[in-house]
Structure 1
Amino acid sequence: MNKFLPVAALAVAATLGGTWFLTQPTPAGEPLLGAAFAQDAGEIDTSSIVDMVQGEADAPVEIIEYASYTCPHCAAFHGNQYPQLKADYIDTGKVRFVYREVYFDRFGLWASMMARCGGEMRFFGISEILYAQQQEWIAGGQDPAAIAENLRRIGLTAGIDAEQLDACMSDATTAQTLVAWFEENAERDNVTSTPTLYIDGTKYSNMSYADLSELIEERLAAQ
């Protein structure tokens, strides 16, 4: 996947009116968020958005993954390579793992808003549910109401309070800030497809676990 949507188009995912608004069509010719929300990404302060991180802060190797919750290749990575990476390197203190969201569409943004609503303690668990159940929660296709409800159900199942969840999913400021943050990351790190991996600052495309492990071992040996 390598098609990104502009800030205004993605940020329609949330505004006043809550989850109900997420499902409403935009009248032809009308701006998705209106003039009040039509900020350029460069004008938005993204300092409030934190990286989601696993592993020891002083781990000898750092891996940054750029991924989209609606990307099938990312779902495959998280079903195959990621569990091995976590067991062999993250949990053993050898790798610091940073996960950064990519937004190809509003549904991926909604998923990110929901996952982050659970805070850092729940984020990775919710992310794994989103990837494991990707085909199910996206089963509504282009039906925003069905997808919004599927995501809400996942959030509730993960233990997020209903009131808190609805507040997160209707937070227009966070929606725009997340998209601006993503665009900053994508431009700086030249992210054009997912999953994209940065291993100690070097960019790589998706790869097998054997190849990933080999690269990690090379860096560990060079310490």
Structure 2
Amino acid sequence: MNKGFLAIAAVIVAVAGGAGWYFGGPSEPAEAAVETVAMVDGVQEMTLGADDAPVEIIEYASYTCPHCARFHEGPFKQLKTDYIDTGKVKFTYREVYFDRFGLWGSMVARCGGEQKFFGITTELYAQQSEWARLQDPVAIADALRKIGRTAGMNNEQLDACLNDAEQAETLVAWYEANAARDGISSTPSFVIDGRTYSNMNFAEFQSIIDEKLN
């Protein structure tokens, strides 16, 4: 998804039933965003693999990004099997919020905690062509709730997560700070041992990782 960051910052309006958020106002300057990294509390890093793995990969992705969906349906599965599950790579997933629906997806994915996060993420991408293309925000919220229910949550839990304005503000600040620090301008992007890369296929991942492992 090659597009400039949506200016999402201060104004968040909850709509009944978790149907909508409104983003407005200019983003913070990059310098200010970087300074907020250590001050943003309440956001758990979602990781897979061994903490002491020799290679670290951080993915920046949006739940409404078609390229991200294709990555998770293809190269990510190979990456997980060959490198994450074998203890060679520690993988961290960080959400990017180009639009309000991507934020809603994130809030649903995080609603069940770390244990449910990656399972819900898989479903959000697998069903992206269905829910993300709906024109009605209420229908999108309902579709996201449905995905959340398949993970064992009920509507009361999901509504509480979708209407948590404080958490939404925290997530947006966290995203902007990390993206500014790592120079993220498109999705998916990857930070491999501190160096930022744009989208790539599995063979390219393999080449970079194997070189580092050797």
TM-score, normalised relative to structure 1: 0.85
**RMSD of aligned Cα (Å):** 2.4
Is 1:126 aligned to residue 125 of structure 2? no
Is 1:80 aligned to residue 74 of structure 2? yes
Residue 7 of structure 1: how far off its partner (Å)? 2.9
Report if the CA contact (8 A) 2:97-2:103 is conserved: yes
Task: Give, in whole Å, the separation in 2 of the partners of 1:6 and 1:33.
Answer: 7
Q: Which residue of 1 aligns with 2:43?
A: 49
Q: Which residue of 1 aligns with 2:60?
A: 66
Report if the CA contact (8 A) 1:7-1:180 is conserved: no
Deviation string, structure 1 residues 65-113 (Cα, Å, up to 9, x no partner): 0000000100010010000000000001100000000010000000000
**Percent identical:** 57
The structure-2 alpha-carbon separation of the partners of 1:92 and 1:39, relative to structure 1 and needing over 3 Å to count, comes to: closer
Deviation string, structure 1 residues 133-192 (Cα, Å, up to 9, x no partner): 100111313x21111111011101111132111100100000111001100011111100
The structure-2 alpha-carbon separation of the partners of 1:106 and 1:16, relative to structure 1 and needing over 3 Å to count, comes to: closer
Q: Which residue of 2 aligns with 1:212?
A: 205
Deviation string, structure 1 residues 181-216 (Cα, Å, up to 9, x no partner): 100011111100001011111111111101111110
Task: Give, in whole Å, the separation in 2 of the partners of 1:85 and 1:150.
Answer: 29
Choose from 133, 158, 168 the match for 1:139: 133
Task: Give, in whole Å, the separation in 1 of the partners of 2:23 and 2:211.
Answer: 48
Residue 39 of structure 1: how far off its partner (Å)? 10
Q: Which amino acid aligns with 1:186?
A: A
Is 1:117 aligned to residue 111 of structure 2? yes
Give unmatched runs, 5+ long, in structure 1: 24-31
Write out aligned runs for 1:1-223 (5 A): 1=1, 2-8=3-9, 12=12, 15=14, 17-20=16-19, 22=20, 32=22, 45-141=39-135, 143-221=136-214
Task: Give, in whole Å, the separation in 1 of the partners of 2:27 and 2:193.
Answer: 33
- Provide the secondary structure at the position in 2 that maps to 1:96: strand
Report if the CA contact (8 A) 1:62-1:199 is conserved: yes
- Provide the secondary structure at the position in 2 that maps to 1:216: helix
Report if the CA contact (8 A) 1:16-1:171 is conserved: no
Runs of 4+ deviating beyond 6 Å: 38-41
Task: Give, in whole Å, the separation in 1 of the partners of 2:91 and 2:128.
Answer: 22
Residue 33 of structure 1: how far off its partner (Å)? 7.6
- Provide the secondary structure at the position in 2 that maps to 1:174: helix
Q: Which amino acid aligns with 2:62?
A: S
TM-score, normalised relative to structure 2: 0.89
Report if the CA contact (8 A) 2:57-2:192 is conserved: yes
Report if the CA contact (8 A) 2:7-2:23 is conserved: no
Larger radius of gyration: 1
Residue 46 of structure 1: how far off its partner (Å)? 1.6
Aligned length: 207
